[in-house]
Amino acid sequence: MRTNYDVIIIGSGIVGSLTARYLSAYDINILVVEKESDVGMNTSSANSAIIHSGYDPAPNTLKAAMNSLGNRLWHTLAPELGIAFKESGSYVVAIGAGELPVLRGLYERGIANSIPGLKIINKAEFLTREPLINPDVSGALWAPTAAVIDPFGAVLAAAENAVVNGAEYLFETEFTGFISGGDKITGIKTTRGDFSCKWVVNSAGIHSGEIAKKAGTRKDFIITPRKGSYLVFDPVKLSINNVLFPVPTDKGKGTLVSTTTHGNVMIGPNNEPCENMDDSATTRAGVEEVLKGAKKLVPSIDQKNVIAMYAGIRASGNAGRDFVIDIPVEIKGLVNLCGIESPGFASAPAIALKVVELLKSAGFELKEKPGWIPVRKPAPHLHTLSLKERAELTAKNPAYGRIVCRCEEITEGEIIDAMRSPVPARTYDGIKRRTWLGTGRCQGSFDMPRVIQIMAREMGIPETEVTKKGGGSEIVFRKTKEVPAR
Amino acid sequence: MKKIYDVVVIGAGPAGLSAAIEAKKSGAGDVLIIERNNEPGGILLQCIHNGFGSVIFKKDLPGPAYAWNFIEQARSLNVEMVFDTMVVDITGGRKIYASNSVEGFIELDAKAIVLAMGCRERTRAQIMAPGDRPAGVFTAGMVQRLVNIEGYMPGKNFVILGSGDIGMIMARRLTLEGAKVIKIIELLPYLTGLRRNYVQCLQDFGIPLELSTTIKRITGKKRVEAVETVGVDETLTPIAGTERVIACDSLILSVGLVPENELSRKAGVVLDPLTLGPVVDETMATNVPGIFAAGNVVTIYDLVDYVSMAGATAGISAAKFAAGAPVSPPAFTLTPGDGVRTVMPQKITGLSGPDASVLVELRASREFAGRVSVNILEDENIVYSHVEKYARPAEMITLKINWNETAKKLSNNKSGLKVNIAKI
């Protein structure tokens, strides 16, 4: 493969992958390096999955500008890239008379940020919209432009679209240092060798601070990772009509109650310190805090119906609680995208377009590529189709008839699609994230042995080399009757 | 495959096979079993240990051998079976939608349906085991399939959470395959599986069991590296200072089974919040006319023999319904009283057959060390009583009741009956 690119992007999260996608419209060579085994494995796939409307960031910050533009962009980008996206709107719900004045403050901040459609609604009306809400509700702030997104699906869509348009991705490839000549970065070192380039985009999420520092930039910038836990519920046991936020505190937007694009109620996050940069372990205290927070809004939430739990890490920086999106003055050839915490996902398309703009204004020649394909058609999800459509697809491809995951009804055909897509799944978790396999109430205990077989066959490897999430996470390690000699 | 069947059975495990066999024997013409696995037998196929058939065959058989008796019978009776086929929807009008890679999308009608989908295992999230999410966390049944059917070892050093039967049986199996089972821990202050499995699978192999202990944290980025255990008090609350870190590469969860009723729900079948299975009468009829249920889909059994018997009852009832026999509405309800956690059937017609024999399966809600009487009560009046040497939540109690005899003792003309367990 080539070792010489125009732009190298470090990190394949939503910011890195959308940057690759927008840059793929130009006649340049793009490489995305990712230390994990798949796109968007950290913050981008473990977050609240909300495209915030933009009332929350302080006016005149980058966060405010990126959020409101990003929100507008998502409403057309999501259908263009075939991303599961629900124009749900959101509520901030005041519980008790004491919280009611906070709604007014948020409303006014939203007006300052030019957020359309905000409205404060009264208790009686809100009770009809969300019957399960805490009866002490005193009012709610309605933000109609907020939306719910499939976060991993969005990263994947951006990455696939970038790849279809010529960008390259390298996984399990860790950035180890910059190569520079004089006052300019000329490439990067990685665990898979050196690559030269004209520009580096630092979109490394929680590690973006360390990388900025390695380039001799942003010396005072520190990311203090904070984790947030999420719980996902059995859709048969709990359903909620709306996206519900509590009133925010100085610690953040608080624990929300929402319904994912897949139809599961999801609650979270809390806000707790990490033991290290990669600590995304859930804790008993954290899980209890999330339950308590969510029960403040919906008292009937019952932990018995939880089917999955996980934590994500926020890339919280110390730059006045704002995003860092700039070309540093200390060295040429670098764009820093640091401290992209909430509302990072909502802001991501605006940040990616800002990168294009920054590169142009720095004199980098970006010539539009003829034949750029902006649209992506996602692989079919059979359980979302009508019985007639399923029958038609199955008639064309019998693998769509063999259901491998009983709870989510995911077929062998969908697994094969995931393994043959432009950014192919190469791990069990990669298939899970792409197809929803194993995400139901049995959490993969039925499908896993079958999926291991399919993966081994498709990849042409023995079952013992099939992994959950990349090298070192093998699932089975030898055949039975091969007892090692003592 | 045909478009209309007299009886369609969902699941070719022990309940489903028996149901199909008895439906055929009772005169049903076209009987079909739809099975999602690629062969009949259900979970018995991966239960290669012995201990099956003591009631029906008076023999100590391995699971596949027990299953084979029924598979052969079903085949010789020309029960139609379709494999690798998943039912995705059932309507209250007994229309069935299924899918496979040969016929594609399948739509058919059944005059009667027997639900025999079995159960699934409780998972990590349901017990709120926090920590990292590496490879190496398995349910016991999944490990059983990987080892016994697929022929792969999923780890070298195991900790097992939960003293249920599958966990103990897998502890022995993994040890025999050369793995190290470090210990089994159990949240409750007592063993939750059968005592004979404790003796034969743990004691005989020197595998320690630690009661009143749970998992505080799972550690490992890629593969499990360690689990942190913690002791719990009588209220099951962790006791600070009792944490211990155990290095291992695998954690097996054997923390209970849940009847699998997503299809039942779609068909409008009413579920019991205690058993988590359909509310049935002694003919195994659900509330939806023509839909019957049997086996672990109804309530979690200890012994497969009783699953087969319930399947047989359901099959006979389904054949009768398909032939147009009138439906007898239930006359009585059975609900758990003191000392009882679950009871099945929840309803009784009292009209089944000349001997009116009714099998009642129940579980105690707590441990009773000494002799107990298991009673059926009409108000305070005991209408049936049966003595057991002890009662434990882990061991199902089966009552064989001659309902004609019992009904004679009913005086107050009440339809609501209770089952209790009392110390003697």
Are A340 and A421 members of one domain? no
Q: Does residue A483 register a pLDDT over 70?
A: no
CA distances from A224 to A203, A269, A310, A341, B64 (A): 16, 17, 19, 11, 56
Mark yes or no for CB contact B132/A406 under 8 Å.
no
Nearest CA in chain A to B179: A483
Mark yes or no for CB contact A394/B155 under 8 Å.
no
Residues of B with CB below 8 A from A398's CB?
Answer: 101-102, 104
Considering only CB atoms, B146 lies closest to which of A395, A399, A449, namely A449
Are A249 and A275 members of one domain? yes
Are A439 and A395 members of one domain? yes
Query: Residues A80-127: pLDDT tens digits?
Result: 999 999 999 999 999 999 999 999 999 999 999 999 999 999 999 999
What are the residue boundaries of the structural domains of chain B, listed by start? 4-120+258-327, 123-255, 335-423
Mark yes or no for CB contact A464/B97 under 8 Å.
no
Are A216 and A230 members of one domain? no
Residues of A with CB below 8 A from B136's CB?
Answer: 475
**How sure is the predictor about A485, in pLDDT bands with cuts at 50, 70 and 90?**
low
Tally the domains of chain A.
3
| DSSP 8-state secondary structure symbol assigned to residue A340 | -
Are A301 and A407 members of one domain? no
Are A333 and A310 members of one domain? no
Give the span between the Cα atoms of A91 and A103, in whole angstroms: 10
Tell me the Cα Rg of chain A. 23
Please give the average per-residue pLDDT across A170-178, as a whole number.
98
pLDDT greater at residue A249 or residue A159 = A159
Which of A307, A477, A482, A483 to probe the B interface (max B CBs under 10 A)? A477
How many Å lie between the alpha carbon of B400 and the closest alpha carbon of chain A? 34
CA distances from A338 to A16, A217, B144 (A): 11, 11, 47
Are A28 and A142 members of one domain? no
B142 touches A: beta carbon within 8 Å: yes
In sequence order, which residues have a C-beta less than 8 Å from that of residue B177 and are 6 or more positions away?
A: A480, A481, A483, B147, B153
Residues of A with CB below 8 A from B145's CB?
Answer: 449
Confirm if B55 and B62 have CB atoms less than 8 A apart: no
Are A346 and A459 members of one domain? no
Q: Which fold has domain B123-255?
A: FAD/NAD(P)-binding domain (3.50.50)
What percent of chain A clears pLDDT 90, i.e. is strictly above it?
89
Considering only CB atoms, A310 lies closest to which of B101, B133, B154, namely B133
Same fold, B123-255 and B335-423: no
Query: Residues A17-26: pLDDT tens digits?
Result: 999 999 999 9
Which of A290, A475, A482, A486 to probe the B interface (max B CBs under 10 A)? A475
What CATH number should be reported for the domain holding residue A41?
Answer: 3.50.50.60
A472 touches B: beta carbon within 8 Å: yes
| Domain B335-423 class, CATH top level | mainly beta
Are A152 and A294 members of one domain? no
Q: What is the pLDDT of residue A232?
A: 95
Give the span between the Cα atoms of A99 and A254, in whole angstroms: 14
What CATH number should be reported for the domain holding residue A128?
Answer: 3.30.9.10
Query: Residues A354-369: pLDDT tens digits?
Result: 999 999 999 999 999 9
Other C-beta atoms lying within 10 Å of the C-beta of residue A329: 7
Confirm if A54 and A347 have CB atoms less than 8 A apart: no
Confirm if A309 and B131 have CB atoms less than 8 A apart: no
How many Å lie between the alpha carbon of B81 and the closest alpha carbon of chain A? 16
**How sure is the predictor about B412, in pLDDT bands with cuts at 50, 70 and 90?**
low
Mark yes or no for CB contact B223/A473 under 8 Å.
yes
Residue type, A43: T
Confirm if B419 and B362 have CB atoms less than 8 A apart: yes
**How sure is the predictor about B408, in pLDDT bands with cuts at 50, 70 and 90?**
confident
Q: Identify the domain containing residue A329 by its residue range.
A: 1-85+148-222+318-378
Nearest CA in chain A to B238: A284
In sequence order, which residues have a C-beta less than 8 Å from that of residue B176 and are 6 or more positions away?
A: none
**How sure is the predictor about B354, in pLDDT bands with cuts at 50, 70 and 90?**
low
A407 touches B: beta carbon within 8 Å: yes
Residue with the two structure tokens 């809400």: A133
Mark yes or no for CB contact B223/A411 under 8 Å.
no
Q: Which of residues 364-403 of A touch B (CB under 8 A)?
A: 387, 390-391, 394-395, 398-403
Nearest CA in chain A to B259: A442
Q: Starting from the edge strand earliest in sequence, which strands make up the sheet with A334-338, in order? A: A168-170, A30-33, A7-10, A199-202, A334-338, A324-326
Are A67 and A184 members of one domain? yes
Nearest CA in chain B to A308: B125
Q: Which of residues 103-132 of B touch A (CB under 8 A)?
A: 103-105, 107, 120-121, 123-126, 128, 130-132
Are A68 and A172 members of one domain? yes
Q: Does residue A454 register a pLDDT over 90?
A: yes
Buried-state track B31-53, b at ≥16 Cβ within 10 A, e below 16: bbbbbbbeebbbbbbbbbbebbb
The verdict on whether A262 is a catalytic residue reads no
A443 touches B: beta carbon within 8 Å: yes
Q: Starting from the edge strand earliest in sequence, which strands make up the sheet with A175-181, in order? A: A175-181, A184-190, A193-196
Mark yes or no for CB contact B153/A476 under 8 Å.
yes
Residues of B with CB below 8 A from A472's CB?
Answer: 221-223
Query: Residues B88-132: pLDDT tens digits?
Result: 999 999 999 999 999 888 999 999 999 999 999 998 888 888 999
Residue B126: which region, alpha, beta or left (left: phi > 0; alpha: psi -120 to 50)? alpha
Give the span between the Cα atoms of A69 and A61, in whole angstroms: 13
Q: What is the pLDDT of residue A320?
A: 77
What CATH number should be reported for the domain holding residue A392?
Answer: 1.10.10.1100
Instruction: Please give the CATH superfamily to which domain B4-120+258-327 belongs.
Output: FAD/NAD(P)-binding domain (3.50.50.60)
Residue with the two structure tokens 């919209």: A129
Tell me the Cα Rg of chain B. 22
Query: Residues A305-357: pLDDT tens digits?
Result: 999 999 999 988 887 789 999 999 999 999 999 999 999 999 999 999 999 99
Please give the average per-residue pLDDT across B216-243, as a whole number.
96
DSSP-derived 3-state class of residue A278: coil
Give the span between the Cα atoms of B282 and B345, in whole angstroms: 6
Q: Does residue B355 register a pLDDT over 80?
A: no
